[in-house]
Structure 1
């Protein structure tokens, strides 16, 4: 097992590629948290369906993960290929990053799913920075996710237990399939909304809703069962069918969905993690030229 440095960088040093990727991953988490109005999720309006979360805590959690994301990119560069050594190094770094997160939040799980998703994507970009199309990044991340980490704790997480109970895809399976909710749903919707002249915040909300229309969100299943899941999926589709979050009719539907999910105590945290993944990949694609000889 390799040891990687999880110390924050000093601000006087120029950015390396791993540092830049860590910046983008943290920015994606902060942008996701700030996006408003998200149905039943923490945002600038309030705590959504949560009693133990608030926006400041989400920001602090995101910032605490910077060293872990950098270390994952460092590991990718050092080890150089998809294989068991890299999978186990990334897994170890992710678990250490999770402990830092929990220490920062006082034990509240703010970003466990995001550590998994964004960690794989950061690693995938660092492996082949010259190949940064969304589908290529997702494929490399999937190849890594398919490998079995021998050091991973065997007790199932809440999300994995719920996925097993309902026959749903959990975060692990979503990654192993190449993040279809991001590649097939969120990114295309984000680009469609932008092309239609929608403001960026509304385009991002539409991308979140596109994820919610089909995702078997294990956070929702854990908190509200199949009733909560169906409410989320049908409500998100209703917003998009009404014209999206930028339209008056769509905004009304969005606020109705927010109220329905809060009443069910159903918070789509899995969809939020995947929106952060979408925003990260979108930023990477838009900066693709920077990688050509920049680092």
Structure 2
């Protein structure tokens, strides 16, 4: 059974994912402009519904972590089983967000294990969970794991086992942009670009190869070096990269999921209000 705390963590994760979806323009990624405008791109409403479909699975992950009480191999296997059920729900809702489910699931479970903890403690706990193998996982390799093996990229598993370094970088970039006076939307876009500038995105490696990945990384760095998306030069560079990536049909989906992880960390600790506490 899920507690109010479990449901609050799950909702915070869903809010982080839908908050990422609401940003625009995101180079090569779906955003609100896709509503009936770009043929061949995923409908934005479809992705929002898919994000909401994750809530029960994420709440179940939080409940499993709270019940287990520590990052054990048993918890890792239980999270994997819940995650595969959640992937089925995603397919029924239209698909999308598999990478974000992996990131947010581990972070939600870690936050449930460390009530009241901040971002660094939560990512450290997520690292301890991810260190255990999921012995019940299907043996067939995923596309991401195949690409990781081919190109030597860390991939989603490597990112988690390293304690989500790109999630932490995005979280730091978000704070730095806010401190510099950037509006919230631009601060979040700068955080996304920070991830894109260095992440070995397996989706990009699959569709564009190493040269394409470096092209995207260089474009993201160029925007940040121009002053970020809150500046006129940075905004112009952002629009140019967005047009370029959509024309090439290159999508840095891994970066989007990691930004959602950073936005989840940004809302920690999640507090639950109740009539009893308010009284």
Give me the TM-score of the superposition, normalised by structure 1: 0.88
Runs of at least 4 residues of structure 1 off by over 3 A? 47-50, 287-290
1:213-243 Cα deviation digits (max 9, x unpaired): 1000111111111122111100000000001
RMSD: 2.0
Corresponding residue for residue 219 of structure 2: 235
1:249 is aligned to 2:233: yes
Relative CO higher for 1 or 2, CA cutoff 8 Å, sep ≥ 6? 2
Shift of 1:51: 2.3
1:176 paired with 2:136, answer no
- Structure 1 SS opposite 2:268: helix
Structure 1 residues not aligned, in runs of 5+: 6-14
Aligned to 1:272: 256
Equivalent pair of 2:30/2:41 in contact (CA under 8 Å): no
Distance 1:37 1:50 in 2: 17
Aligned counterparts of 2:208 and 2:88: Cα–Cα separation in 1: 27
For structure 2, list consecutive stretches of 5 or more residues without a partner in the other structure.
none
Matches within 5 A, 1:1-295: 16-46=4-34, 51-105=40-94, 108=95, 110-130=96-116, 132-183=117-168, 185-285=169-269, 287=270
Q: In the TM superposition, what whole-angstrom CA distance separates every residue of 1:186-234 from its partner, at most 9, and x where no partner exists?
A: 1111111100111000000000000011000111111111122111100
What is the TM-score when the length of structure 2 is the normalising length? 0.93
In the comparison of the two structures, how many residue pairs are matched? 274
Deviation at 1:50, TM superposition (A): 8.2
Q: Quote the offset at 1:263 in angstroms.
A: 2.6
- Does the aligned pair in 1 maintain the 2:5–2:272 contact within 8 Å? no
Instruction: Write out per-residue CA displacement over residues 26-81 of structure 1, whole angstroms, 9 at most, x where no aligned residue.
Output: 00110011111100100011279982512111101000010000000110111111
CA distance in 2, matches of 1:215, 1:51: 25
